[in-house]
Chains A and B, each alone.
Chain A
């Protein structure tokens, strides 16, 4: 297996608080990796470091063999890392279709003058972009009917899916999902788990997901990494990690639902 992403002793400090502390992390192509840990463990901060929203205080991040540490978010996205957010961040006023089209932004090339004169090349590009966006909406199970609805008017579960669709539209190599099943009922969670597997199997996208619900992570992850207080405390196959006493303590210690484990 080839290495896709590698984090080398990544540290992120906010003033006196070390949110992520010397975390080493690797992910191979084609995997579904899980990142778990109690609230405030530094999982989202770790994501933000990878996607360029934060610059690591120390350490390096490599993607596809190249250093991406400190690059601007849009450049990292262009290289093939796409993400969703823990608290959904859609473009509420835009239609579902336009949301997905923004996701395709880096793949499109029309200039200002071309936007006005609409030469055939740009028309074709735009048409293909729309087709593709509709396909992606289909793929994530939203269907084409909702394409023209404003994103903020969609039900919660659909918004989560739309965010995944938007992230997939750029045809990324790596998809980062930040608690994609948060706030869902068990039935919806199962469906979303299926979607994640579907993304990996049929689009060939490598997935790294943060998940609070142990059941979900254990169900789909090929490998699980556990963060606590910014430090990596365990890593390995789900079944093994689950029995790690340190992990159990971390979860029990913060009063989080450990019975799932």
Chain B
């Protein structure tokens, strides 16, 4: 029944809206409205009056959104452990603006989606996304949100709520992962090389930044501030270092095929953090005396050797082992210094990095190099016979992928100010690969979408879900029951964050079954070009 009235995308919008509104509530009504609006717009088929129809559907979904959000704001949020919803979020004004956002975006997206000119459609859509991304932090920050009541509310009153800053931190991390995902997409999506150790280059980028912008090395050299090079130079050095290691790792191994390459890269991902973990007491002697001495049968303890590195009283501590490097200096930008907790500048730095990289990768894909990558993925032998140099082409893909991961790592190190070997776990390689596969291997926009979905589930939604379930259990179910042990058992059993890896695994399995090409498959691009 529903299916006939609503298109599939619209149905998804309804379900998603209801679910998100239920667990998020509050200010997030605006984000949900924007998301649902675009979804509805994207599912608008080109028919006689698609614009009024999109508006109608959006209004319908908007009302559902408002109803459920209001339920959350007034009922759910009073349960134990739930976040307090500021009063400004519960006003009719906020609800009306949300309605406006959903209808407006639905109509706008529907219009763009149905433009005849393919190029225009692409440019407008990217423009819309960038505009929303630029708008987002102001909107989410308290002063911006206060405008939704058509007036500046007393900032101290409504805006001290920490919950207002729920999204921007996770979104910055999401950008870092998206940057890695589009980089991995070059290797795995375009060139078809399964890289299971992509995190290695993330780590190399991060540690390059850490070493060149902290007191770690300087303090052992007598001048703590020696390594305080400009962020804007070091980020390039970090990317170049990662790319260099991409070359070093890739050159001997890219001759391997399929599974073998996957295993070797898996090794890289494991080796790099282990090496980093162990570089805390380094003293290097020149090896020539030892060699000659041994040749003449001398014991190494009797030898006079020249020390090359770490010759002081203590050996050189390069990476601080498991303790990690900290603090890493934040970037400066024309006199302004980035600070921890002040998210907006970080947000724009990450956004710029991501957008420029995506643009770069898009252009690479459209060039002869990109065609060579994809042809190799499609049929290596035929590509070779058509004049594609396999080793060289694989190596460019591998090195460029490493480079983008290096950028991401360098940014990450500055942003978190602390890096330890444990931050570069194997699971990161897997999560990024999952983002690529979920979003649509080979499609840059799809991969970024995959990143957003997984990162938001990971960093926001599961926490919120846990909170809601907890609240319901504590406040309603176990209220009258005097059995503490049972309550604890149930709350731990329903801790959504504990099922994270299971959930990602499930998502991948389901995707493989119903849509193996990913949410936004690569070929739609080709098909659309034909239209």
Contacts and interface: CB of A to CB of B under 8 A. Distances in A.
Given A53-B385, A93-B522, A118 B368 contact: no
Interface string B479-523: 000000000000000000000000000000000000000000011
B387 A77 contact: yes
Interface size class of A (residues with CB under 8 A): 35 or more
Nearest to B365: A115
A94 B378 contact: yes
Chain B residues touching A, majority SS: helix
Given A101-B368, A110-B367, A94 B385 contact: no
A102 B380 CA distance: 12
A195 interface: no
Interface in A54-92: 72-74, 77-78, 82-83, 85, 89-92
A39 interface: no
Contacts of A106: 387
Interface in A185-212: none
Interface string B455-496: 000000000000000000000000000000000000000000
B364 A115 contact: yes
Given A94-B374, A95-B529, A149-B530, A115 B385 contact: no
A116 interface: yes
A173 interface: no
B386 A170 contact: yes
Contact of B381 (A53, A92, A167): A53
Contacts of B372: 102, 105
A85 B383 CA distance: 12
Interface size class of B (residues with CB under 8 A): 20 to 34
A103 interface: yes
A93 B518 CA distance: 14
B247 interface: no
Contacts of B387: 74, 77-78, 103, 105-106, 170
Nearest to B391: A72
Contacts of A52: 385
Contact of B388 (A82, A89, A102, A150): A102
A106 B383 CA distance: 11
B296 interface: no
Given A73-B385, A74-B387, A118-B363, A91 B375 contact: yes
B382 A89 contact: yes
B363 A115 contact: yes
Interface string B354-373: 00000010011011111110
Contact of A83 (B379, B385, B396): B385
Contacts of A73: 384-385
A231 interface: no
Contacts of B368: 101, 104-105, 108, 110, 115, 126, 129
Contacts of B1: none
B119 interface: no
B527 interface: yes
B121 to A, nearest CB: 15
A94 B388 contact: no
A72 to B, nearest CB: 8
Contacts, number: 111
B379 A103 contact: no
A73 B375 CA distance: 15
Contact of A89 (B369, B370, B379): B379
Most A CB contacts (10 A, CB to CB) among B368, B388, B390 go to B368
Given A105-B372, A112-B369, A91 B379 contact: yes
B382 A85 contact: yes
A225 interface: no
Contacts of B389: 72, 74
A179 interface: no
Contact of A94 (B366, B369, B375): B375
B131 interface: no
Nearest to B528: A148
B400 interface: yes
Contacts of B363: 115-116, 118
Contact of A93 (B378, B384, B388): B378
A166 interface: yes
A57 B499 CA distance: 58
Contact of B385 (A77, A114, A126): A77
A73 to B, nearest CB: 4
A105 B384 CA distance: 11
Contacts of A166: 386
A98 interface: yes
Contact of B383 (A102, A122, A148, A149): A102
A11 interface: no
Nearest to A102: B375
A51 interface: yes
B378 A92 contact: yes
Nearest to A109: B368
A112 B369 CA distance: 7
B487 to A, nearest CB: 54
B292 interface: no
B526 interface: yes
B378 A116 contact: no
Contacts of A83: 385
B186 to A, nearest CB: 11
Contacts of B527: 150
Contacts of A51: 385
B197 to A, nearest CB: 23
A99 B360 CA distance: 22
B448 to A, nearest CB: 18
Contacts of A102: 371-372, 375, 383, 386, 388
Given A94-B526, A148-B530, A101 B371 contact: yes
Given A102-B383, A170-B387, A110 B530 contact: no
A108 B527 CA distance: 26
Nearest to B529: A148
Interface string A42-56: 000000000111000
Given A83-B385, A93-B442, 20 more contacts: A72-B384, A73-B385, A77-B385, A77-B386, A89-B379, A89-B382, A91-B375, A92-B378, A95-B526, A105-B368, A108-B368, A110-B368, A112-B369, A115-B363, A115-B366, A116-B360, A118-B363, A149-B526, A150-B523, A166-B386
15 contacts: A52-B385, A73-B385, A74-B386, A77-B385, A77-B387, A91-B375, A91-B378, A93-B523, A95-B526, A101-B368, A102-B372, A103-B386, A105-B375, A106-B387, A122-B367
What 3 pairs between A and B have smallest CB-CB spacing? Answer: A115-B367, A106-B387, A148-B530
Interface of A: 51-53, 72-74, 77-78, 82-83, 85, 89-95, 98-99, 101-106, 108, 110, 112, 114-116, 118, 122, 126, 129, 148-150, 166-167, 170
